[in-house]
Amino acid sequence: MSRRPPRGEYIETDTGNKVARKATLVGTQNIMLGGKTVIQPEVMIRGDLIRSIQSSSSSASGAAPNNTAVSIGRYCFLSRGCCLRPPGRLYKGAFTYMPLRMGDHVFVGPGSVVQAASIGSHVHIGARVAVGEFAIIKDYVRVLDGTVIPPNMVIPSFSIVAGQPARLIGEVPEGGHEAFELRDLYKTVGNNPQPAPS
Amino acid sequence: MAAFVPYTYFQCPCSDSSTLAQSSGSNSPSSAHPDPDDGGIDDDSDRAFDPRAPRSNYSLYPLEYLLYCEDCHQIRCPRCVAEEIVTYYCPNCLFEVPSSNLKSEGNRCTRSCFQCPICIGPLAVTSIETKPDPNLLAAPDSASHSGPYALTCSYCNWTSTEVGIKFEKPNSIHAQLAKLRNGGTSRLTAKERKERRKDPAYTSQRAAAGSERESSDWQEDLDLETQFANLKLFYQSQLADPNSADHGLSSLGDLGFSSPSSLSRIMSIYTGGSLHDKKAKSRVGAMREALESDEGLQLADLDESAAISRLRQEGYDGTASTEQLLEQPPNLGEEHLHGRARFTAELRPIPYLLRTKRSKRCPVCRHIISKPEAKMQTTRFRIRLVAGSYIPSIAIRPLSLSGAGGSFSSSSTTTVPGAPLEPLKPAHFLLTFKNPIFETVKVTLGTPARTPGRFASKVTVLCPVFEIGANTDVWDEALKDSSGSDRDGRRRRGKGDEGGGGGSGGGGLTNQIEVGKIWERGRNWVSIVVEVMPASLHLREDEGDLPLREEEDVLEIPMFVRVEWEADVGGDEVGSAAHGRDSKEAREKRELAYWCVLGLGKIRRS
């Protein structure tokens, strides 16, 4: 903290995103950040894994192809060494990746690998968690450290899950909703971090 | 070993009969203050709260788990609230299940949501490819959506084909599975069973089988459902049979199972009639038990050799664990368990248990204190009275004074968090009380001078009485920041650094920490210092000391917190815990008192 690199460890964008210079973002044009999101060093986001087949019939075919691979909401916090990777599967006989969507106030712990199809808002993913392909995590979910969420698993709101494979171990209590807020955590990192309020 | 994280648990008054009486009756203001100087205990609960008492396990909760009843002005915990189910939904497909369906179809999802019986991971419906033909890749659409389907687990690669279950359609798996037994044979419905009995081919086959074996021993293998149906049919015919009742009672009408006479008749079978009168006795012979498999008799198959040989083959790993068996839903199409062990190869896919959204009521006044929106998708609450927005939260931080506080840029004067406490060396902790309400509150703390339990640590709260500012607008703080509180805090810290230059000795400490002074204060928070002298964990086993129990090395201090504030008199409030001393200004004095437990750290083992 005392010895800072001269340029600043983070790139701070106009929308308040704080992206570490040492983070690995592949295919940045396919990564959408909602703003005020922190990306710590050694984070990897695989924006290059885009949809190889456009969903032809369902979406408007005339419009520009939507190539978003990873979309992240506001006040998300991606800890050191975590990886966001869009999930892929066979679709109509051909392999394709699907976009990874993430809501607001999502914390991803260090060393976690996320391959979910969608993650809601106010989700806390602990350290060393593996979120399987096409998992769906709804709002206000706490995933404890070391959990392995199997592919295709759906985790409803207010769940606390843990274990390998993940199983429901509890419910988020009514008074625990505010603990998911990441506004204060956002302020504690960056080029001129503020101390955490006591 | 994981680092110790300091914690604060609050006691819900529901477990304590004295506080319950206190909350319902008028709160006498004469109840003695907890005397902080000698750490004495207040009089109204005549003993200190012992966090290690077995009862305490059930009444201590982190603040997030507690609710607050605005009418009773009391803390409510998950154990004492009354819950009411608002919505049922499947945790996998997230469909809401109406309660009428619940009565008819049970508490499991009746769509295609299944859990793996081995690892409880979710199962996905996949088609079983007949032949991986490379030519088919050219025209994938026609090829991939055909053929029989199976449930597969993407976590442990279990598939339902392992128990011989395949499905014809990829949808409504639950209905298809209900008709299937393990091994793929279909389960008979009641109608089919009846028809089978009439079927001449079946009866002849049965007769042949009967002649093959000794005729008296032969019996049909009944599954649970068939046996129950047969038995029920048999007993109903027995009850309806006019010959079985030689007294005039049953001739009064067709008495069903629920009539007292048939009940006493059934009872007389099992009690041997000795307890009953003569009438009942004479009726004993009138009813007989089932004798054939058609009547629901199933002889126990005591030959376990098949199970034993299978156990030899598959070993312990082949048997199902208790957890796996518990997860299994009751399966009516199943065979009897006579002489059978349970193997993992017999487990069936588990339909997802439904989950609920629940509202919570205060147990005393029956007011709703938490009510979620009924819709499954929304996460909002209509009513959510959590204790965290009524009572001050307590945060614990270790305070190191010898380290000269580190740099000025950070406010942290912390040691390595989670480090074990040295026995018999005074340690200091910073307790930060944060006031969530819009009034200034006065807090009074009381702790026993020595912690209860075998290893009594000394505890001193250096500033047991203080006031916390109201939780006003954030802008107020921003305006005040330039002039008031912040500078004050900085000054205090600066002075501490001057005084404690080399200070590990006792003299240095007194310069820094002043008794009766607040360490630091902010808009709606106050930090105070607690000094503890951890006890030595030395055991003298030759004198019969028991070995250290689990968690006994954690230094936990019970603390009685009394919060007083003045509030506007609400229109409809009864004000049970309030006394209107200055009621003319429509302000009433409120107080709330409760025990909490501070887990400060682990004491280093000697």
pLDDT reported for residue B342:
76
Enumerate the residues of chain A whose CB falls inside 8 A of the CB of residue B376: 156
Chain A residue with CA closest to B394: the answer is A198
Mean pLDDT of A102-115: 94
Residue A34 has pLDDT above 70, yes or no: yes
For residue A160, being part of any structural domain is answered with: yes
Compare B260 and B583 and report the one with higher pLDDT. B260
What per-residue confidence (pLDDT) applies to B37? Answer: 40
Q: Which of B372, B206, B114, B345 is nearest to A139 (CA)?
A: B372
Q: Which residue has the higher pLDDT, B328 or B124?
A: B124
A26: helix, strand or coil = strand
Q: Do A152 and B381 touch (CB under 8 A)?
A: no
Contact map slice: A 21-60 vs B, CB within 8 A: none
Q: What is the pLDDT of residue A124?
A: 95
Closest CA to B89 of A156, A4, A14: A156
Q: Which of B65, B91, B144 sits opposite A173 (nearest CB)?
A: B65
Of B351, B342, B298, B295, nearest in space to B323 by CA: B342
pLDDT digits (tens, 9 = 90+) for B480-520: 555 444 444 443 443 333 333 333 333 334 446 677 788 88
Q: Please check the confidence at residue B28 and state whether its pLDDT lies above 60.
A: no
Cα gap B265→B271, rounded to integer Å: 10
| Contact present, A153 and B121 (Cβ < 8 Å) | yes
- Residue B517 sits at φ, ψ, to 5 deg, of -110, 145
Judged against a pLDDT cut of 50, whether residue A170 lies above it is answered with: yes
Q: What's residue B56's pLDDT?
A: 79
**Of A92, A93, A153, which has the smallest distance from its Cβ to B122's Cβ?**
A153
In percent, the amount of chain B with pLDDT more than 70 equals 62
Q: How far apart are CA A198 and CA B493, in angstroms?
A: 15
Mean pLDDT of chain B: 72
Q: Which residues lie below 8 Å from residue B317, measured CB to CB, with a gap of 6+?
A: B344
CB contact under 8 A, B122 and A152: yes
* Higher local confidence (pLDDT), B305 or B33: B305
Q: Report pLDDT for B206.
A: 54
Specify the CATH number for the domain of residue A81.
2.160.10.10
Lowest mean pLDDT among A122-136, A178-192, B297-311: B297-311
Put simply, the answer to whether A174 touches B386 (Cβ < 8 Å) is yes
Of B363-367, B401-405, B425-429, the range with the lowest mean pLDDT is B401-405
Structurally, chain A folds into a number of domains equal to: 1
User: How far A165 CA lies from chain B's nearest CA (Å)?
Assistant: 6
Check whether B472 has a pLDDT greater than 60.
Answer: yes
Question: Structure tokens of B323?
Answer: 């957890």
Question: Judged by CB atoms within 8 Å, which residues 69-88 of A form the interface with B?
Answer: none
Whether A152 has its CB under 8 Å from any CB of chain B: the answer is yes
Which residues, in sequence order, are bridge partners of residue B561? B445, B594
Weakest mean pLDDT among B1-15, B112-126, B134-148, B542-556: B134-148
Burial of B283 (0-12, 13-18, 19+ CB in 10 A): buried
Nearest to B121 among A150, A157, A176 (CB): A150
Rounded Cα distance between B51 and B58, Å, is 10
The tens digit of pLDDT for each residue in B266-278 reads: 776 776 655 545 5
Closest-CA residue of chain B to A138: B377
- Residue B356: the pLDDT is 93
What's the confidence (pLDDT) of residue A140?
94
Average pLDDT on A71-78 reads 94
Q: What gap in Å lies between CA B447 and CA B461, rounded to an integer?
A: 7
Asked whether residue A72 is assigned to any structural domain, the reply reads yes
Place of tokens 């004000």: B575
Confidence bin at B469 (pLDDT 50/70/90): confident
Looking at the predicted structure, is the pLDDT value of residue B256 above 90?
Answer: no
**Residue A92 belongs to a domain:** yes
Residues in chain B closer than 8 A to A94 (CB atoms): 140
Q: Virtual CA dihedral for A76, A77, A83, A86, nearest 10 degrees?
A: 0
Q: B67-76, B79-88, B584-593 — which is least confidently predicted?
A: B584-593
Query: For the residues B332-348, what does the mean pLDDT come to?
Result: 68
Single-letter amino acid code for the residue at B50 = D
Alpha-carbon distance of B495 to B503, in angstroms, equals: 13
Judged by CB atoms closer than 8 Å, whether chains meet at A174 and B155 is answered as no
pLDDT at A126: 94
Most distant CA pair in chain A: distance in Å?
56
Alpha-carbon dihedral of residues A135, A144, B433, B75, nearest 10 degrees?
Answer: 80
Q: What angle do CA A116, A121, A124 make, to 5 degrees?
A: 70
Q: Which conformational region is residue B512 in: left (phi greater than 0), alpha (psi within -120 to 50 degrees), or beta?
A: alpha
- Residue B292's pLDDT is 75
Is A69 inside a domain boundary? yes
CA distance A13 to chain B (A): 25
Contact B452, B39 (CB under 8 A): no
- CB-CB under 8 Å, A94 with B66: no
More confident residue, B194 or B514: B514
Domain, as residue range, for A148? 10-187
Residues of A with Cβ-Cβ distance to B68 under 8 angstroms: none
Helix (H, G, I), strand (E, B) or coil at B54: helix
Q: Which residues contact A68 (CB under 8 A, 6 or more apart)?
A: A30, A31, A32, A50, A99
Which pLDDT score is estimated for B214?
Answer: 45
Give me B510's structure tokens: 């007194």
> For A11-29, how does the pLDDT look when each residue is reduced to its tens digit (9 = 90+)?
999 999 999 999 999 989 9
Q: Is residue A169 part of a domain?
A: yes
How many residues in total does chain B contain?
Answer: 606
Burial-class residue B231 by CB neighbours within 10 Å (0-12, 13-18, 19+): middle
Cβ B355–A174 below 8 Å, yes or no?
A: no
Residue B261, pLDDT score: 67
In 3D, which of B528, B512, B536 has the Cα closest to residue B447? B528
Q: What share of chain A has pLDDT > 90, as a percent?
A: 64
**What is the phi/psi pair of residue A176, to 5°?**
-95, 10
Give B380-418 pLDDT, tens digit per residue.
999 999 998 899 999 998 887 654 443 333 334 445 666
Cβ-defined contact of A176 to B410 (cutoff 8 Å)? no
The tens digit of pLDDT for each residue in B201-241 reads: 655 555 555 454 444 445 566 777 778 888 888 888 877 76
Establish if A58 belongs to a structural domain: yes
Region for residue B273 given its phi and psi (left: phi exceeds 0; alpha: psi -120 to 50; beta: otherwise): left
B504 vs B498: CA distance, rounded Å: 14
Query: Confidence class of residue B34 from pLDDT cuts 50, 70 and 90?
Result: very low
- Distance of alpha carbon B173 from alpha carbon B70, whole angstroms: 48
- Assign A132 a pLDDT band (cuts: 50, 70, 90): very high
Q: Are strands B350-351 and B114-115 parallel, antiparallel or unpaired?
A: antiparallel
Q: How many CB atoms lie within 10 A of CB B16?
A: 18
Mention every residue, 6+ apart, whose C-beta is less than 8 A from residue A195. Answer: A188, B409, B410, B411, B412
Pick the residue with more confidence: A198 or B495?
A: A198
* pLDDT tens per residue across span B539-589: 776 777 777 777 778 888 899 999 998 877 654 444 444 444 444 556 788
| Residue B97 DSSP label | E
Query: Which DSSP helix (H) or strand (E) runs through B104?
Result: helix B99-105
Provide, as residue numbers in chain A, all residues whose Cβ is less than 8 Å from the Cβ of B411: 195, 198
Q: Which of B86, B154, B399, B432 is the best substitution to test chain A (most A C-beta atoms within 10 A)? A: B154
Using only the alpha carbons of chain A, give its radius of gyration: 17
Could you give the 3-state DSSP secondary structure of residue B162? helix
CA distance B122 to chain A (A): 6
- Coil, strand, or helix at residue A118? strand
Dihedral angle over CA of B79, B80, B82, B85, nearest 10: -20
The residue ranges of DSSP E strands in B242-401, in sequence order, are 350-351, 355-361, 368-372, 381-384, 393-399
Most confident of A132-141, B110-119, B346-355: A132-141
With contacts defined as CB-CB under 8 Å, which chain A residues touch B89? 156
DSSP string for residues in A63-115: SPP----EEE-TT-EE-TT-EE---EEEETTEEEE--EEE-SSEEE-TT-EE-
Secondary structure element (H or E) that encloses residue B327, with its range: helix B322-327
Which of B119, B153, B388 is nearest residue A175 as measured by Cβ atoms?
B388
Residue B362 is which amino acid?
C
CA distance B44 to chain A (A): 29
Most confident of A50-64, B191-205, B220-234, B348-362: B348-362
Q: Which of B64, B137, B143 shows the shortest C-beta gap to A176?
A: B64
- pLDDT band for B308, please (50, 70, 90 cuts): confident
Instruction: State both tokens at B15.
Output: 């477990």
Q: How far apart are CA B548 and CA B542, in angstroms?
A: 14
Mutation target to probe the B interface, by most B beta carbons within 10 A, among A122, A142, A154, A174 is: A174
Flag whether A1 is in a domain.
no
Which regions of B168-222 does DSSP assign to beta strands (E)?
Answer: none
Which chain A residues are Cβ-neighbours of B67 within 8 angstroms? Answer: 174-175
Determine the straight-line distance between the first and last CA of chain B, rounded to whole angstroms. Answer: 17
Query: How do strand A100-102 and strand A70-72 relate by DSSP bridges?
Result: parallel
Compute the distance between CA of residue B229 and CA of residue B240 in angstroms, rounded to an integer: 16
User: Could you tell me if residue A155 is left (phi over 0), alpha (psi between -120 and 50 degrees) or otherwise beta?
Assistant: beta
Write out chain B residues lying below 8 Å of A140, CB-based: 379
Both tokens assigned to B51: 């966090």
What local confidence, expressed as pLDDT, does residue B139 receive?
Answer: 45
**Residue in chain A nearest B409 by alpha carbon:** A195
Q: Dmax of chain B from CA atoms?
A: 105
CA distance A82 to chain B (A): 21
In a domain, A4, yes or no: no
Name every chain A residue with its beta carbon within 8 A of the beta carbon of B141: 92-93
